[in-house]
Amino acid sequence: MPTTEMPLFPLSAVLLPYGRMPLQIFEQRYLDLIRDCMKSSSGFGVVWLRRGEEIAQRGSEQQLGDTGTVARIVDFDQLPNGLLGVTIQGCERFRLGDTRVAKNGLVLGDVALETMPEAAALDEEWSPLREILENLGQHPHVRRMGLDIDFEDAWQVGYTLAQLLPLEESLKYALLNAEDVDEMMDQLDLMLSEISGEG
């Protein structure tokens, strides 16, 4: 599979396709990245930081996930604390190959992009997941995100719901790696059942 070089943003959180996430930008390398992406209307890669610190120290080691998500900037603003705030949305998944560090400290990776999945009909058995997402969508914090969801597409419902729920990042990463919509939705349904069972 052909690869392309892409700037990476390692995060302790997993970004899923269709999911939206707010970021606070304060490191110069990432300020430069955001500026360049906005100028060229391009994206960057978000990869889950399995181990290590988001603000890498000299001599420290970051362990990155093998699968990541292309992020595109959908909104930006200056936050009350003076930092740049951006909202990103997940797009295509990618497989991460070799990585290297640029002079400015930005991590660059060889990525093999995948196409966005074709819309998949939401089976009746998954309608409770859609109802949970619809209810979450009424929350003021979620409404501010400006989500645009096709509630008939199981991929969009599953990924968006998983992004919003307070799941362990390792579970979100497992959902990101699901190979088909049935696997992803069944895993998500099981996770929700376990959460409600704990309550």
Give the chain's domain count: 2
Asked whether residue 118 is domain-assigned, the answer is: no
The answer to whether residue 119 scores a pLDDT higher than 90 is: yes
Q: Which is more confident, 145 or 115?
A: 115
State the pLDDT at residue 197: 66
State the pLDDT at residue 7: 96
Q: Yes or no: say if 172 and 155 are a contact pair by the CB < 8 Å rule.
A: no
The answer to whether residues 8 and 89 belong to one domain is yes
Beta strands in 43-173 (DSSP E): 44-51, 63-78, 84-101, 107-113
State the pLDDT at residue 175: 96
State the pLDDT at residue 110: 97
The answer to whether residues 12 and 92 belong to one domain is yes
The answer to whether residue 199 scores a pLDDT higher than 70 is: no
Tell me what the mean pLDDT of segment 187-194 comes to.
90
The answer to whether residues 39 and 109 belong to one domain is yes
Q: Which is more confident, 90 or 79?
A: 90
Overall residue count recorded for the chain in this entry: 199
Average pLDDT, the chain: 90
Tell me what the mean pLDDT of segment 55-64 comes to.
61
**Which residues are CB-contacts of 21 (< 8 A; sequence separation ≥ 6)?**
13, 15, 71, 87, 88, 90, 163
Alpha-carbon gap, residue 3 to 185, rounded angstroms: 29
The answer to whether residues 95 and 141 belong to one domain is no
Alpha-carbon gap, residue 17 to 146, rounded angstroms: 15
The answer to whether residues 45 and 77 belong to one domain is yes
Indicate which CATH number applies to the domain containing 79: 2.30.130.40
Alpha-carbon gap, residue 32 to 103, rounded angstroms: 13
Question: Which of 82, 113, 144 delimits the end of a domain?
Answer: 113
Tell me what the mean pLDDT of segment 184-199 comes to.
82
Supply the range of the domain harboring residue 39: 4-113
The answer to whether residues 100 and 147 belong to one domain is no
What backbone phi and psi angles, to 5 degrees, belong to 173?
-65, -40
The answer to whether residues 23 and 94 belong to one domain is yes
Tell me what the mean pLDDT of segment 5-23 comes to.
95
DSSP symbols for 6-64: EEEEEESS---BT-EEEEEE-SHHHHHHHHHHHHHT--EEEEEEEES-SSPPTT---EE
The answer to whether residue 94 scores a pLDDT higher than 50 is: yes
Specify the pTM.
0.89
State the pLDDT at residue 57: 47
pLDDT in tens, 25-59: 989 999 999 999 999 999 999 999 987 555 544 44
The answer to whether residues 88 and 146 belong to one domain is no
The answer to whether residues 11 and 96 belong to one domain is yes
